[in-house]
Amino acid sequence: MKTFPGTLLIMICLSIPVRQMSGQEKVNISIGAGYLETLNIGLRYQFNQSQIGLSIGTWPSDPGSWFDWNSLVSVSGDFYYHFGGFSEFSDLRPWYGRIGLDYLRIGWDDGVENDLEPHFRIGRDFYLNRSFGFSLDAGVGFFIINETGFSPVVPALGTCFFFRF
């Protein structure tokens, strides 16, 4: 849990210089939840009808429950291609295909597990106004490094609220 606040601070500091691009609406900051992205914060940068994104997250642990780990950190990198439909609040089309890679590091009492999972998703952005919106997406992920014992093929689900600079 100590790494999450530090990473949050780093991501906030990295987002401060992008305020000068506010009129271009090229940068989003998000707060979301997903399987296997966990509870996360992220940044996305737009170019044309595409975006690249990075998020970092964690999931709380409760001793004695199924979520009984010492620490869990997830890092995700994604490429979004927007297509289909139009929005009155953005030039970015609302439907998207998303290809990404999730890394999970789970610390247990007796060791550490590392997992790597590429995912493929389809989703949609819903704009509430020019600055705020939320996203929903779903697809499938495939573990290429799997130390947790999860099935090699898993659902890939996510949602987030975003703010556009």
* pLDDT tens string 2-55: 555 555 555 555 554 444 444 456 899 999 999 888 999 999 999 999 999 999
pLDDT, greater one: 36 or 142? 142
Report which of 76, 145, 141 is spatially closest to residue 115, judged by C-alpha positions: 145
CB 71 within 8 A of CB 3: yes
Average predicted confidence (pLDDT) for the chain: 85
Kindly list the distances between the CA atom of residue 40 and the CA atoms of 30, 64, 93, 153, in Å, as whole numbers in the listed order.
8, 24, 24, 22
Q: Give the number of residues written for the chain.
A: 165
Tokens at residue 11, please?
């991501």
Is cis: bond before 54, omega within 30 of 0?
no
**pLDDT tens track for 97-108:** 999 999 999 887
Give the number of other CB atoms < 10 A from CB of residue 150: 14
φ and ψ at 104, to 5 degrees?
A: -120, 135
Closest CA to 130 of 55, 28, 45, 53: 28
Most confident of 10-24, 58-72, 97-111, 114-128: 114-128
CATH of residue 150's domain is 2.40.160.20
Residue 87 CB coordination number (10 Å): 14
What's the domain range around 23?
Answer: 3-164
Closest-CA residue to 1 (of 160, 107, 117, 111): 107
How many domains does the chain divide into?
1
